[in-house]
Amino acid sequence: MQENWLQLIDIFCPNKNYVLATITDTRGATYRKRGTMMLIEQNGHCTGLLSGGCLEADISMHAEHVFESQQSKLIQYDLKADAQLLWGLGLGCEGEIDILLLPLLVSNQHLGFADMLNAIAHRKTGLYCQTVNDQARPQAHFVEQSLADIAQSYDHKRENNSEESAKQSQLMIPVSVSISVLICGAGPDVVPVVNMINQLGWRCSLWDHRAAYLEQADFALCAEKKKTRPHQVHSEDFIGFDAAVVMTHNLTSDGEYLAHLLKTDISYIGLLGPEKRKYKLLEPLAEHAETLTGRVYGPVGLDLGGRSPQAIALSIVAQIQQHMTEQVQSTMVKPWLQ
């Protein structure tokens, strides 16, 4: 699924023309799968990847024709071909990829792409629907819809569509929001955590009571930086977060943040420090015991073996990724052809 929504939101300009390249189908082993999108500017610059970097230059060349014709174009790559025959690149991926190129123009209102990005920016989900055809008038639109309704629609299509009808020309791409992580604390060991979160294209918010810590250059890409103490926050302040990591290094502050978090629907709560410290923090919160299972992780992070701030950051981010993947698997569906 698409993971660089924040990057796309950042670079997209409503006054510019683009070509959208989307994988519509794959067969065999490929780097990315159906529904992955890449945005191409008129200067050839690409945002996103549809391969390991070996196809993007050629896709950009095809995009030049799409800018000129203002029609859709369907291209196919057979990566099973002999390495020396396929531009001498030595790909060896043993798969096939079909890619649809759509002109997103000011004159066609960018085919709903801007609407989709605006919805994502406001943490709304939906479907981006593209008509898969070659050398034809481009067609695409965005429909705002909950993930539960998307999953229900997918199940209905799967039950009622034959294999033949599944190969028709509408590509339906479920659109989910980026993972939003709250970090309570802005000490030096938070820097690599924030960097990794930003590199993954997630949304990072940082809370601390020290203004100077929040204004460090390393935190410039945080979506939100709030100068606050745990007793100053309210329940509505936690709306919109998927995961939280408590790492103030202050037992009292950590306990107060944890008390707030246990009253929210945030499904991942990470606590920095040893297991004994976790139990000490949880001891006065016994009334919330039934909400702890599968939510509170302490010591935070997967046991990857490292002890440096960077290694600990890697273990934290990896655990959040694992947790969120497990959370969405039951409701999120793959892009499908209708």
Q: Kindly report, residue by residue over 283-324, the tens digit of the pLDDT.
A: 888 777 777 778 999 999 999 988 899 999 999 999 999 999
Sign of CA dihedral 300, 302, 303, 309: negative
Q: Which of 11-20, 39-48, 222-231, 323-332 has the lowest mean pLDDT?
A: 323-332
At 296, give phi and psi (nearest 5°): -100, 125
Q: Which run of H or of E encompasses 159?
A: helix 147-160
Q: Which of 148-162, 181-195, 211-225 has the lowest mean pLDDT?
A: 148-162
**Contact at 8 Å (CB) between 17 and 60?**
no
pLDDT at 208: 97
Q: Tally the C-alpha atoms within 13 A of residue 324's C-alpha that lie toward its C-beta.
A: 21
Q: Which of 292, 242, 240 has the alpha carbon at shortest distance from 263?
A: 292
pLDDT of residue 166: 44
The answer on pLDDT for 92 being more than 70 is no
Structure tokens at 81: 């071909």
Ordered domains of the chain (ranges, CATH): 5-177 (no CATH), 180-327 (3.40.50.720)
Do residues 337 and 132 lie in contact, with contact meaning Cβ atoms separated by under 8 Å?
yes
Instruction: Count how many residues are written for the chain.
Output: 338
Q: Is residue 334 very low, low, confident or very high in pLDDT (cuts 50, 70, 90)?
A: confident
Q: Calculate the dihedral angle through the C-alpha atoms of 188, 191, 192, 193, rounding to the nearest 10 degrees.
A: 110
Please give the pLDDT value at position 152: 73
Residue 327 has pLDDT above 90, yes or no: no
For residue 143, pLDDT beyond 80: yes
Specify the pLDDT at position 158: 55
Residue 84 has pLDDT above 60, yes or no: no
Query: Which of 66, 35, 49 lies closest to 4, judged by CA?
Result: 49
Interval 196-221 mean pLDDT: 95
